[in-house]
Structure formats: structure tokens, C-alpha cells
Amino acid sequence: MYMQSQAGITDADESLVELDVTGTTSKNMVMINRIPGQPAPTCIQRYLMRKHVYEPLSIDQKFLDSTMFPWLLPNGLYGWDHPREGNVTMKMYNRARLMNIDRRFATDKMYVLVVASIIEQQQLTSSISVALRQSKEKINCKDVLNLLQSNKTSDHILFSSMLSEIRGYAGYWYNVAQVLRSFCQVFGKATWFVTFSPNIRGWLALHRSYAEIHRCIVDENNIYDMVAKDPLIFTRFFQGRLNAIWRFIHSDAQPLGQVIHSFYRKEYQENSLTHAHCFLWIKGNFV
């Protein structure tokens, strides 16, 4: 195997240094040892990823899901590009798949990650395309990438409208921070800061939901394993509990006082479980 050595070779010397391929350290890695008398290879040169023998697939390829996930769609039918009546979007199709009684799609981690990445890429491409068409200045791909990676407030404002619905990007969190900041300016400091965390060991209704759907015994000893296997059931259950307690807090019962305004955002704990942080403004408790 021949490689260009980065050490001990001048700009004028363009000769190739022969390195000895001694074998593999894993299925996907080739290890290259130094030949006596030759410059030592760099770390990148020393460990090389094996080249894949197949051509990569494009996300625009027709029947991509049938090609990538034959164990989920063995007949190649009823995938993303299957002919259907009406306009069924990618999000609509996969929402139906993930919420279906057939849990094969929802419990396949690779399928969920691929779907999420494709939908996010489609949203990002669409948002940037709209912004570029509306822009009066000439912007190329490099400029767009720099704006996405920028930490400047002015750049966040420029991209906040197009990325406000795409979580994980600066524009989304910039808008969230601006909304919360405006609430504090109008209503003053929040009266209550509340965190709602799940109690999956004690939620027997959650245990019954998993047991009914997956047809197995579920209790406090294996509920964490079931949530890791099928997190969508827990996510919907937690959202239902959060909606219920949110309605109770805002009801005439006024358990925390008369709520005149509220704000909350969900996030994930270290154990990957969802919890929510809430701000509540109570009447008569302005600061």
C-alpha cells in the first residue's frame, strides 16, 4: 500500500513512501506499521478506515426506506414513496408508523434516527432556500454555513425566522430566550419556578400501557428497559400527564394561585427521560 508521508518530506519531494500493511485491528480498520528507515506515519495515516464497496445512497432516492430497511419492509411496499391518494408528507407517514400498534418501526433505533435526520435536513433545506430567495444580497453556501456556526447575535437574528422551528439550532434557542426575556420584562420576575420529573417506577398506568402493547409483564424492575426499548410510549404518556397537571394549575382550583401567565420547556435528563421546567406568574405577586 502506498501513502503520502507527512513527516520528513519537503515540498519539493513528492515521492510516495511505502508502508507495510500488517493486518486489521478490527473489521473496519487497517493498521499500518512503520518501515525501518522511513519517517513515522501520522496518527491519521496509521489507522485507516476501510473503503466501503457500495455506493452511498442519496436521501432523494426513490424507495429509500425499502432499500435501507428490508427487515421492516420485506416486500418493498407501502414505504415513503408508495403511491397513495392525497398528499401524505414524510412527517405524516412516519407519525403513523411510529404510533401504530406494530411497534417494529418505533423500536428500530436506526430507522428512527434516519427518519429524524432526513426530516430535519428537509426542513433546513427548505428554510434556507426560502431565505436565500428573499435575500437582497448574494449569499453562497459558505456564507450560509458560517451563519449557522456563528455565535453573533446579529447572525442569530438573521437566521431566527428560518430556523425558529428546527430544534438544536441557534435560531430556535435564540427565539425561545427572547420570548422568555420578553415575558420577564412585561410581567416581572416569575413567582414560581417548577420542575416536573417523571416517576416511571411509580406510574402503574405506564406499566400497564407497556404490558398491553408489548404483551409482556412490566413492573418497576424492568420499566427502564421497556422505556429504552420503546421511548415513544413513555413520551406520549409523560406529555399527557404534563397536559393534565398544566390544566389543573390553570384551573379555578388555583393550587398555586391565580396564574396570569406561564412558560415551560421540556428537556432530557441524563437517563434520557423527559422532564419540564416551568415559569409561573401569579396575580398579586409581581416583583
For 205-257, how does the pLDDT look when each residue is reduced to its tens digit (9 = 90+)? 999 999 999 999 999 999 999 999 999 999 999 999 999 999 999 999 999 99
Say if 43 falls within a structural domain: yes
pLDDT value of residue 109: 92
Say if 118 falls within a structural domain: yes
pLDDT value of residue 52: 66
Say if 263 falls within a structural domain: yes
Gap between the Cα atoms of 255 and 177, Å rounded: 27
Residues 63, 39 within the same domain:
no
Residues 242, 212 within the same domain:
yes
DSSP for residue 257: B
Beta bridge partners, 266, equal: 276
Say if 175 falls within a structural domain: no
Say if 245 falls within a structural domain: yes
pLDDT value of residue 61: 86
Which domain covers residue 118, as residue numbers? 56-134
Say if 145 falls within a structural domain: no
What pLDDT digit, counting tens, does each position of 67-110 carry? 899 999 999 889 998 998 888 888 899 999 999 999 999 999 99
Long-range contacts of 149-154 (CB under 8 A, 24+ apart): none
Which residues fall within 8 angstroms of residue 108, CB to CB, at 6 or more apart?
69, 72
pLDDT value of residue 47: 63
pLDDT value of residue 49: 61
What distance, in Å, lies between the first and last C-alpha atoms of the chain?
A: 72
CA dihedral 21, 23, 27, 32 (to 10 degrees): -40
Say if 155 falls within a structural domain: no
Say if 152 falls within a structural domain: no
Whether the per-residue pLDDT at 121 is higher than 70: the answer is: yes
pLDDT interval class at 159 (50, 70, 90)? low
- Report percent pLDDT > 90 for the chain: 39
Please state the domain count of the chain.
Answer: 3
Cα 4–chain centre separation = 38
Residues 113, 38 within the same domain:
no
Q: Within a 10 A sphere around the Cβ of 174, how many other Cβ atoms? A: 18
Residue 68, C-alpha cell as written in the block: 435501507
Question: Considering 110, 134, 158, which residue would you say is the last residue of a domain?
Answer: 134
pLDDT interval class at 12 (50, 70, 90)? very low
Beta bridge partners, 257, equal: 255
